[in-house]
Amino acid sequence: MESKIEFSTIILAAGKGTRMKSDRPKVLHSICGNPLIKYPLLAAKQAGASNAVIVIGHGSEEVRLALKDEDVTFAVQKEQLGTGHAVMVCEEAIKVRNQPVLILCGDAPLITSETISDLVQRHTLEKNSVTVLTADFDEPFGYGRIVKDGDELVRIVEEKDATPEEKKLKEVNSGVYCVDATYLFDSLANVGRDNAQGEYYLTDIIKCGKDAGVKVGWSKVSDHDEIMGINSRQELAEAGHIMRLRILDELMTSGVTVVDPQSTYVDNGVKVGKDSILDPQVRLEGHTVVGEKVILETGNIIINSKVGDGTHLKPYCVITESELAEETIIGPFAHLRPGSTVKAKGKVGNFCEMKKSVLGAGSKVNHLSYIGDSEVGQGVNIGAGTVTCNYDGYNKYKTIIEDGVFIGSGTNLVAPVTVGSGAVIGAGSTITRNVPSDSLSLSRPEQKVLKDWAKKRREEREKK
């Protein structure tokens, strides 16, 4: 049961999702950084799916766009005539007829590749024509019920068509099936619409199979969360919570400390190295990669960024599309906007902002500063309140600060400008021209002292 069996998969994604009360197709609502539909697609491919067909209808162009980078085929369901009809429109897209076809729901993101592999393996080993994935629910309302005779599956009855006795059954249909391709489309040709919904039920292939004398089997999933379908915002939040805890559990198993899983948010696909620590309210999004022995204190938000080994992010930093080399120190309350790079042992301190800039190895910008469109060399010290003035209202200009420069507090560097290596800029200066290496530059007006001026002013006010 170890080797993978190749199969095709059909993923049903044509529904509107009325209860979501949204203009967006239901399968494009996201949990943990990905639209719902990507999860069953990924699980199927990990389990061995060689051909994936996505059934689209409502919002079809949006779904196509969301999956433009995936190796899939689309089948259009122009009329919403039920799950059986949705599979019918895939007939031309299923080219290989000697493989099983796995049918999944695009709004059920929690199914795992392990469950899919087990289902396909059982289907093949038992030589079934149809195998249904089932689950037990204490409160099965809304699900189709599994009707058995002993251990043999007899039929599936939908909630709206079930008798009072059938509604008491706890074992339900997951909406996931493994079906021999030839049997699938032959049986669907005999399915009608004589039911409460007036639709072509995919579940009727079970009855067709029993009538035809083919072998029909079932496989029960132990965790019924895996078959959870998303039909409301409440269920979207619940599924997101379950997925998030799965992701965090995997991280903890791999050697990452997650101080409070209930308040930590990590997207699917984020990577975190061992011995790193995620404090409460940390959020890691997109394709973020965090190295080993990293400390992320409370409230950090990191989006599509790379964080090097041994880095320490103090509380409440926002890092977007940026790269931090090893042993950098960031924050608290620092903001690194897209295109920022901090090299090894660099430091960006409290209430500092960087944008589209490079801070060289061992350089520091510790307090209340803005570094935009800049190249900062190694061993540079940038004093509190320094601003690179990079915008003239029309265009952005570059500031270059070479190795070993000392920038005094309260300095304005008006770009385009270069400060040569080893130079010193006096505090409070506004620098508008290039500064040669190893020189001192300052632009303060001469300080004046008017002796006893304040005393005389107070005396004059007291006379009034």
pLDDT of the residue at 71:
96
pLDDT of residue 194: 80
pLDDT in tens, 116-150: 999 999 999 999 999 999 999 998 988 899 999 99
CA proximity to 323, closest of 291, 362, 299:
291
Whether the per-residue pLDDT at 3 is higher than 90: the answer is no
CA distance from start to end of the chain: 100
Does pLDDT of 201 surpass 60?
A: yes
Among this protein's residues, is 367 annotated catalytic?
A: yes
Q: Which of 58, 224, 335, 367 is catalytic?
A: 367
Residue in 300, 302, 295, 358 with CA at minimum distance from that of residue 329: 295
Task: Return the structure tokens found at 269.
Answer: 């696909």
Percent of the chain scored above 70 by pLDDT?
99
- The rounded mean pLDDT for the chain is 96
Q: pLDDT tens digit string along 7-46?
A: 999 999 998 889 999 999 999 999 999 999 999 999 999 9
- Cα separation, 401 vs 381, in Å, equals 10
Are residues 12 and 86 in contact, defined by beta-carbon separation less than 8 angstroms?
yes
State if pTM tops 0.75: yes
- Tokens for 332? 């608290």
Predicted confidence band at 1 (pLDDT cuts at 50, 70, 90)?
very low
Give the pLDDT of residue 16.
86
Phi/psi at 236 (nearest 5 deg)?
A: -60, -45
Q: Could you give the CA distance from residue 408 to residue 380 in angstroms, rounded to a whole number? A: 11
What does the pLDDT average to over 57-71? 96
Tens digits of residue pLDDT in 246-305: 999 999 999 999 999 999 999 999 999 999 999 999 999 999 999 999 999 999 999 999
What angle (nearest 5°) sits at the alpha carbon of residue 368, between those of residues 367 and 373? Answer: 105
Closest CA to 57 of 74, 37, 30, 78: 78
Domains of the chain: 7-227 (3.90.550.10), 254-441 (2.160.10.10)
* pLDDT reported for residue 296: 99
**Please, which residues have CB within 8 angstroms of residue 355's CB and are 6 or more apart in sequence?**
336, 337, 338, 339, 340, 370, 371, 372, 373
Using the predicted structure, report yes or no on whether residue 4 has a pLDDT greater than 70: yes
Question: Does residue 241 register a pLDDT over 80?
Answer: yes
Q: Is the distance from CB of 258 to CB of 278 less than 8 angstroms?
A: yes
**With 70 as the cut, is the pLDDT of residue 394 above it?**
yes
